[in-house]
Amino acid sequence: MKILSLFALYITLLSCKAQQVLPLNGSVVNSPINSYFKDINNELDFYVGNWKANFQNKTMILKITKALHRPFEMLDKNYFQDQLIIRYEIKDINESVLQTTLNRSFTDQNDVKLLIESSGTESNGDIVNLLFAGGNCSVGIGEIILKKINNTQFYWSYYPGTTTRNDITCPPNLDYNIYLPETENLIFTKQ
């Protein structure tokens, strides 16, 4: 009987430490620390792949991948989430590369410049909210929203929050241009 009681106590303690799995559109409010916001319904899968759009004489290519169980912090607590990671390349009318992140791994926590990663979904995955870390001195940091149109297209809307730099902490010799298309409802087509 004593062994059975110890076994029950062990199982209880183990279950307290077990990670709670929640849907992607769940909220961290009142969620246990280390909860895992999982793409249970494969909402992100539609966006995975290569996409292309043209905007103001520029071509933008997106390479979107799905990353599983990525750590993130919110409200001073640690959690995990399945996310989209977007790498991109922007070319001018002459096919010269203006900016590219296609070969970046973004595995180093200190290497987040130009990182675009999803932060959640809405409407059963038809809308994905993303965060853009910005470029040098975080210029361009902001929100990107992808909205599914059909099986081969989505809308891109980019809303930068910071588009300027300061001369005190940001050296003048860096590139502070925002190359991402700052617009609403730009149509990307799957390649």
Does residue 15 form part of some domain? no
pLDDT at 2: 57
pLDDT at 83: 96
**63 falls in which pLDDT band (50, 70, 90)?**
very high
Query: pTM for the whole thing?
Result: 0.85
Name the token pair of 91: 């070319």
Write down the mean pLDDT value for the chain. 88
- Count of structural domains within the chain: 1
pLDDT at 12: 42
Does residue 173 form part of some domain? yes
Q: Where in the sequence is the domain holding 148, given as residue range(s)?
A: 21-190
Does residue 157 form part of some domain? yes
| pLDDT tens readout for residues 92-103 | 999 999 999 999
> Any idea which of 2-6, 13-17, 74-78, 133-137 has the lowest mean pLDDT?
13-17
Does residue 7 form part of some domain? no
Average pLDDT of the segment spanning 97-121: 86
DSSP string, the chain: -HHHHHHHHHHHHHHHHSPPEEETT--STTPPTT-EEE-TT-TTGGG-EEEEEEETTEEEEEEEEEEEEEEEEETTEEEEEEEEEEEEEEE-TT--EEEE-TT----STT--TT-EEEEEEEGGGTEEEEEE--SGGGTT-EEEEEEEEETTEEEEEEEES-----TTTS-TTS-----S---SSEEEEE-
Average pLDDT of the segment spanning 30-51: 95
Does residue 77 form part of some domain? yes
Does residue 4 form part of some domain? no
